[in-house]
Amino acid sequence: MTSGMQHFFELLFAMTEKELRARYKHTVFGFFWLVANPLLQMLIIGFVFTFFMKEPILYYNYYLFVGLLAWNFFSLSLAKATSSIVFERSLIKKAAFPREVIPISILLSNAVHFLAALVLYTVPVAFLGTLTPESILYILSGLLLLFAFTIGISLLTAALNVRFRDINFFVQALLIIWFYATPIVYSFSMIPYKFIWLWRLNPLTSVVQLLQHGFVGAPPPGPAMLGSNIVATITICAVGVLLFKNESKNFDDWV
């Protein structure tokens, strides 16, 4: 059992390292792109959406930036993990190893970039005076919920995509809608009450609100919203892990 776990983590570390090396291979600016992409998004989206906001949001650029960091981690991880098993078909046919290592290594490599960017983001935020000892609890809770949900849904879509290749295209289309269904560029208070139940189905609602509250003091998610999002995350994780474990037995035949 111990040797099996050791083999799993050694393989996971090796594949994560490979992902990290491949991402910025032959690039000039390297890790500068950690913040360059979300910074550019923030400037463009922030400029456009300020014209449509009825209620101004305090520290809006900081509010927007942390939401974009979380979203970029989630969307990039999900998009790449969904097609990862099919993409690594040659490796799967050559060797026997825990198949979940493939999508999880993608998530871990993206998590390294995400956390590094988050640390850099903390530096200017520290001058706002919004960070308190209590903030750490909200930030860690948001990160835990984000990682758990991303792992669960990535395992789910990665497993389904082996048998149904339409899943990859469905995820790409869904992510476009999902971005605007998450309170990143707008305040949650702008959502009409009759539609709030839709946001309760989206775990990223609480993720973004917890991070925005922890860093810039925006309103945190209410107990009902947080509870619904936690239940949704646990459900997706359980379904994702069980489905992947069951389907992985047939990956050799389907890829």
pTM of this prediction?
A: 0.90
Q: How is residue 127 annotated by DSSP?
A: G
Q: Is the pLDDT of residue 106 over 70?
A: yes
Q: What does the alpha-carbon distance between residue 207 and residue 6 come to, in Å, rounded to a whole number?
A: 32
pLDDT digits (tens, 9 = 90+) for 202-251: 999 999 999 999 999 999 999 999 999 999 999 999 999 999 999 888 88
Contact 58, 217 (CB under 8 A): yes
pLDDT digits (tens, 9 = 90+) for 149-174: 999 999 999 999 998 889 999 999 99
pLDDT digits (tens, 9 = 90+) for 113-145: 899 889 989 989 999 989 999 999 999 999 999
Task: State the greatest distance between any 2 C-alpha atoms of the chain, in Å, as a whole number.
Answer: 59
The region that residue 224 occupies, defined by phi over 0 for left and psi between -120 and 50 for alpha, beta otherwise, is alpha
Question: What single string gives the DSSP state of each residue in 21-58?
Answer: HHHTTT-SSGGGHHHHHHHHHHHHHHHHHTTT-SSPPT
